[in-house]
Amino acid sequence: MLKIDDIVTGGLCIGCGLCRAMAGADRISMVTTPEGRERPVVTGMLCDEDLAAINAVCPGTGIEGADPSSIPADAETDPIWGPALPATMAIAHAADPEVRFRGAAGGVLTALGQYLLRTGEVEAILHVKASPDAPMRSVATVSETPEDVLASAASRYGPAAVLADFDRVLSQGRPFAVIAKPCDIGAVRRAMARDKRARGLVRYCLTLVCGGASDLGKSSDVLDGLGVAERDLTMFRYRGHGNPGPTRIETKDGRNFELTYEDMWGDEVGWRIQPRCKICPDAIGESADLVSADCWPGGGPVGEDEGFNAVFARTGTGRQLLERAVADGALTIVRPIDFRDLDNFQPHQVRKKRALWARLEGMKAAGMAIPRIERLRIEEIAATNDAGVNEREREGAMERARNGRLGEPKPVPG
């Protein structure tokens, strides 16, 4: 059992905020650190029972694939991509042109959130949006209307403690859906296993294929390069208004700037991905009902287009939602795809999944705590790697761990 500080300093925390939801804001606070990450700080007494409960749901201490009971009999399980229902695998986009334009890529998750509210299947969507007061930053939000969902559309990079008020949302007793990163969805599923309220009220878990959560420092560097102070911002839109859409920055004194996707993300060295993301075995959302992804051949955009997503369902719940959304005109299907198309669209996910078992072995050899991994096949995948690959990954991770590059400082407000 790990203490909160140990989870953070060990590089296992992703800042989802679920520990705060469980312990209460009077005992755990979420702070933005000097590194530009949202992290929990213990401010009250936590007993062993509290820590055990937090460890049981924390996506830093344990990462699990889909519950076998949720996988339909006709699903296929790919070693890299996990379970999916082949008939649901497709290129798709929001049918509404405005949603498609404003949403990230093809606007699929925005359209689905709106659809669930319109049909009354849920009464709220828990997701993230740009902070009204600090638009470079992201905050958790609960949308109750399709208009609210659209107002929060487009990708948000950087930290966001989407589950910090999860207990408060549950206490309202309303059925809701969660749209969040794969690690957040994994935390929700683990909470559902322990909390009867969550099992009854969380009706859908929808996610994206995640390239990693960047530190807020990445965005601050962009502002520094433009000579803009964060306090002067009125807008910091990371994606959307096209596919991939420009990063759009506007200030109180009327200045505006646009950066292409290549300008913003072309240099991977500058991504400033959080430590937990570098050892994530499930950036593809294996425990979600439905997954939406960028679908750029070769793994990156070559220009702007109308907006498309790769989409597929993992559970019967996800399949039914997708089929209804298409039948009712919320989504448009362009063409079917298969697992090898996903390899082409997301080659970095293939590389990461192949490297994960050896990286974790390297961390363990360096004396670091590693998460418990279940139903994600990482050892079996590693066994198929070419000779020497696993040893190089293991040695590299061990060296980074010993140099402190896979851990974090103890969190303090920044």
Binned at pLDDT 50, 70 and 90, residue 272 comes out as confident
Question: pLDDT tens-digit profile of 303-350?
Answer: 999 999 999 999 999 999 999 999 999 999 999 999 999 999 999 999
Q: Are 373 and 281 in contact (CB under 8 A)?
A: yes
Residue 333: strand pairing partners: 92
Is residue 311 in a domain?
yes
**What's the pLDDT at 103?**
95
The rounded percent of the chain whose pLDDT value lies above 70 is 99
Is residue 109 in a domain?
yes
The CA-based dihedral angle spanning residues 288, 285, 143, 294, taken in that order and rounded to the nearest 10 degrees: -130
Is residue 18 in a domain?
no
**What's the pLDDT at 310?**
98
Residue 319's alpha-carbon distances to 70, 143, 174, 197, in angstroms, are 12, 23, 23, 24
Say how far apart CA 403 and CA 85 lie, in whole Å: 43
Q: Reply yes or no on whether the pLDDT at 265 is more than 90.
A: no
How would you class 45 by CB atoms within 10 Å of its CB: exposed for 0-12, middle for 13-18, buried for 19 or more?
A: exposed
Task: Please state, rounded to an integer, the average pLDDT across all residues of the chain.
Answer: 96
Structure tokens at 293: 């992804």
Q: Reply yes or no on whether the pLDDT at 267 is more than 80.
A: no
The rounded percent of the chain whose pLDDT value lies above 90 is 94
Binned at pLDDT 50, 70 and 90, residue 239 comes out as very high
Q: What is the mean pLDDT of residues 70-82?
A: 97
Q: Reply yes or no on whether the pLDDT at 136 is more than 90.
A: yes
Helix (H, G, I), strand (E, B) or coil at 294: coil
Choose between 154 and 113: higher pLDDT. Answer: 113
Binned at pLDDT 50, 70 and 90, residue 30 comes out as very high
Q: What is the mean pLDDT of residues 288-311?
A: 96
Is residue 228 in a domain?
no
Is residue 369 in a domain?
no
Q: Name the pTM for this structure.
A: 0.97
Is residue 279 in a domain?
yes
Binned at pLDDT 50, 70 and 90, residue 271 comes out as confident
H/E stretch holding 325: helix 316-327
Q: What's the total number of domains in the chain?
A: 1
Q: What domain range is 94 assigned to?
A: 68-215+271-348
Say how far apart CA 329 and CA 320 lie, in whole Å: 14
Q: Reply yes or no on whether the pLDDT at 296 is more than 80.
A: yes
Say how far apart CA 26 and CA 380 lie, in whole Å: 43
Is residue 135 in a domain?
yes
Is residue 165 in a domain?
yes
Question: pLDDT tens-digit profile of 158-175?
Answer: 899 999 999 999 999 999
